[in-house]
A and B are shown apart, each in its own frame.
Chain A
Amino acid sequence: MSGGAASPVAVRYSAVGAPLAALAATALFVVGAVAPIYAASEFTLRIGNQGLLLGMLALSVAFLMNQAGLVALGAASVYGGAGYLFAIGINNWDLSATQALLAAFVILVVYAAALGALIIRTNPLAFMMLTLAAGEMISHSVMLEGLRDYTSGADGLVVAFKGSILGLQAADFANPVHFWPLAWTATWISGLTIRAVRRSRLGAVLRAVRQNEERMRFSGFDTYAPRLMGFVLINAVAAVAGLLHVLNAGFVSPDSLGLSLSTNALVSALIGGVASAAGPIVGGLIFAFAQDEFGAYGVTQLLTGVAIVVFIVLFSKGVVGGLTSAARHLRRPSDPKGGAR
């Protein structure tokens, strides 16, 4: 699971390759932020933006799945919830755009901490069921008759903010050309953060708890707080993605909260592979473009189901995971660990 540190050979490779890799990553970041603006059409960029945001959501699902063995099926509720809270902050609470962003983020982190405190203690299957239930609860809350003044029920909310956020106006966020570098940067920041957490002590403890929770408790580790921190972290990432989405779309509807978006994020994570930070983001982009390709036939949902089954049963490493191990295999064909799992 832990990438390159499998053998002394790999360590030597990464010792030589580390500065090179950092250089390559920096180059990829700069080129990726600028090139598409000139090379791609506005329409392609629009889908690319959706793909990046879906990728961030997938990243959060994948992190908890890979590190803690927990599958969160309610990712979209925080993603869409962020949009709703931002809209309500502007429309009903008379906050400025920046204040509304912060308020939405803080409320969601508190919500995630409270929900996590309640459900993280249960076993992984129950966790999966409970996140699904919590997501549905949020979906139902938005449709409540009593909250209609705030959420407009099934119609969704138009969000028009005045002023600027980080020097960008509402029109800039809505423009796919201006939005792309922002989404690209946010994706990189979340990816690198997740990668850093993976390699930190928290990541190590989470993986150990996933292997054997009881033994970790006997060894004197707190197994509760790390999992709670992991849960809050992924929800923070999901909230950021959701806030970017509402800024970009200028609109939030029950669709952005629902179970189908949560499963889309799960599928993106599975397509790209959950074991790396790049995988889910690549998966999100693949999903967004595939959805654009097949969406017209109304078979997106069907393909989502097929993709879950196919990628779990046949390609459990995902695209990025599969390519990584294939590359490793080519470099060191004698290493038995390079090939199949």
Chain B
Amino acid sequence: MSEFKALDGNAAAAEAMRQIDPDVVAAYPITPQTSTVQTFADFVSDGLVKTEFVTVESEHSAMSACVGASAAGARVMTATSSAGLALMWEIVYVAASNRLPIAMLVVNRALSAPINIHCDHSDSMGARDAGWVHLFAENPQESYDNAFQALRIGEHPDVLLPVMFMHDGFITSHGLERVEVYDDAEVKDFIGQYKSAYPLLDWRNPVTYGPLDFYDYYFEHKRQQVEAMENVKQVIIDVGQEFGERFGRTYGLFESYKLEDADVGVMVLSSAAGTTRAVVDRMREQGYKVGMLKPRVFRPFPAEELVDALKHLKAIAVMDRSISFGAMGNAGPLFLELLAALQVYGDGRLPVSDYVFGLGGRDIVPSQIETVFHDALKMAETGRPERLVTYLGVRE
């Protein structure tokens, strides 16, 4: 039997970790991820899990310990934020390249400097080319649900890649919401056992992980990672479907809201999608044909599927919670990826504009999102964006 509890995002993720009972968790506390690891540490000392909990001296060590444990054959989880992810950097690539299905909660927080503990997506977006699968959650429930699916996706034999699952720092991590917590046994049955094909601890079949790999084979190993990434989309869909059949909430690559008959749409990740949904409802009441698309998966970028869902629109506004400094227009990564996708899978003529918002935890309020929709409606009339990028709410 499932039950409803009042949990913030971090407590929900920790609750998922309790139910998963990973073999190894190696983590270092960092705001705003701290309460996940702290709550999980309580579970460890209270004997509620059998996990080997490794307290390390830095995130570089946390991910290193995760890599070692995963290579040994363990089911491994960790959690981090911002500077912690940045410090892990080297080993984040190693985890993906060694094909280790580690699941990591990333509580999105701005990167320094100036130092800032609040939400934006610059931390995980910076790691977008590292070879991990990226899942974004809008609220504590989605983050809780993603924790289980992250394991199933990463551990799938066609994938074998690490998965990071995100929720917004403070907004989601410390925002108390109603979360349906499933029955322990049901969860255990869904996630099953992780059986590594080549566990290092199997001394009867000794293998080497991470040897020197030069110009003769390195390129082929990268090509294999491409193949795994290609396989991810279908696995996410299958796992999301199975999850829905068991627990009642079906997940896919993205969620669209009132998009089918819309003239214009806003594409936005994570918690801001909740606010956007309310704005869509209000504007619909006023007679505007507007809709929203909330990507769940950023890596692999579901280019073809997104274009399919958006191509009937007359204009799209993308909302990015990070900047790709020096990229075209100093736009955000979500916008840039969508533009490329529209060029390849669409006719490339759909007007699109980017709205960078909420950096360093700056509030995003419904009236601002309304201006984005009105801009998009104007774009639909004129057929071209007034500006490529708008920094929404920044003081001039």
A and B part of one assembly: no
